Amino acid sequence: MKKKYFGTDGIRGKVGKSPITPDFMLKLGWATGRVFAEEGHGFVLVGKDTRISGYMFESALEAGLSAAGVDTRLLGPMPTPGVAYLTRTLRAKAGIVISASHNPYYDNGIKFFSVNGAKLPDELEHKIEHYLDLPMTTVASSELGKAKRLVDAAGRYIEFCKSTVLASLDFKGLRIVVDCANGATYHIAPHVFSEVGAEVVTIGAEPDGLNINEECGATKPEFLAEKVIEYRADLGIALDGDGDRLIMVDHKGEIVDGDELIYIIAKSKLEAGELKDTVVGTLMSNLGMEHGLNALGLNLIRANVGDRYVMEMLNKHKVILGGEGSGHIICLDKTTTGDGIVAALQVLAEVQSSGKSLHELKSGMTKYPQILKNVKVNKKVNIDEVETVQKAVKAVEKQMAGKGRVLLRASGTEPLIRVMVEGENHDDVIKHVNHLVDVVKKSI
């Protein structure tokens, strides 16, 4: 059954525009509370990133949960994977994250985690939507939920992150620049990397509610690249606003994306005997990564785009490593969801233990030229049913003669059609992607 409010990654949109409004968040808190109250007594964790609207929505959710008779533990600014970890280890009924991830400050959204630290199953999202369509009620005053602030949340998560690499591994002598995207990791990531021994230069760690993801972080790694060169660092780490994405920069200032990082982690785990024969990517994963993994004797399974679908494929095939070129990297042997800090630590561990630079480690795979362009749309459209677009796609694929890929898809979180072309020749890729973008614009 189609969902009314939930998308591929929770509920997201522009602040002040339905459903990202205070009254909806109040009702959402109540509906969530009703669903989890059915499963017995317990509390719900609520964390957020640093965007200014988080204060407003935190209060609304807390009130709604209280009206449903459910206790709340407020975490304050906390990375999305940190909320997942704390939900699991504190045995909370659920975890709620107020965040629009890599989006600008004027967007916001809600993500949920179940008691085991994973995304909510469809059946629970359907239950929440059922209550959202009912009149809101309030339990008796004696049964109202209470709210407390969990003051040691950041420290708990910092210790967990550090535990995902061997305590015997010495990171001294490694100078790194860490870009926190003025987001939820600003008070956590610098401590993690410095406490494992690295020399840390911190940037993007002065959130003001409006500058989250603004010309910094995993979506704008060029800023980090400049700083890596300026500080003569060994490498750079760029996280996004809620800390579930990772992009890195090598000592030459070259950007190392999620596909290359997955390759590095896969090779490391394979050599350590921790990885069997398969890695999960997506329809967008670069052909170069697939060929690099194949050369190691590993298979690549492609999931639909979105960490939710990567996770489904990981669980289905009992695989421990997967992710996306955008930087969502899931190490299921370490945690239950995509985690930028944890993934970065795995890469740092390989840099330090191998004695090779990040630049050398990424050279094991050669990326195909891949260009992705976004076309803004005013309405939802099934691109597969637009005849003129599909004819153009087939024509381009015929010209590429099996030496490249074309992918068109609607974004699950934004009003965009994503047009991706990948092939051996960069100039041909540019020509093909521009042609397809023009066809999409004229057809929709």
Residues 45 and 131: their CA atoms lie apart, in Å, by: 20
Q: Which helix (H) or strand (E) holds 94?
A: strand 94-98
Q: Tell me the Ramachandran region of residue 111: left when phi exceeds 0, alpha when psi lies from -120 to 50, beta otherwise.
A: beta
Residues 323 and 264: their CA atoms lie apart, in Å, by: 12
Q: Which helix (H) or strand (E) holds 159?
A: helix 153-162
Contact 53, 107 (CB under 8 A): no
Residues 91 and 226: their CA atoms lie apart, in Å, by: 42
Q: Which two tokens stand for residue 30?
A: 């109540």
Contact 273, 214 (CB under 8 A): no
5-9, long-range: CB < 8 A, 24+ apart = 5/129, 5/132, 6/125, 6/128, 6/129, 7/412, 7/413, 8/306, 8/308, 8/309, 8/412, 8/413, 9/101, 9/109, 9/111, 9/306, 9/307, 9/308, 9/412, 9/413
* Residue 101 annotated as catalytic: yes
Contact 39, 123 (CB under 8 A): no
Q: Which two tokens stand for residue 229?
A: 């060169």
Neighbours of 146 (CB within 10 A): 12
Nearest to 82 by CA among 398, 339, 352, 389: 339
Q: Which is the catalytic residue, given 53, 66, 99, 101?
A: 101
Q: Catalytic residues, which ones?
A: 101
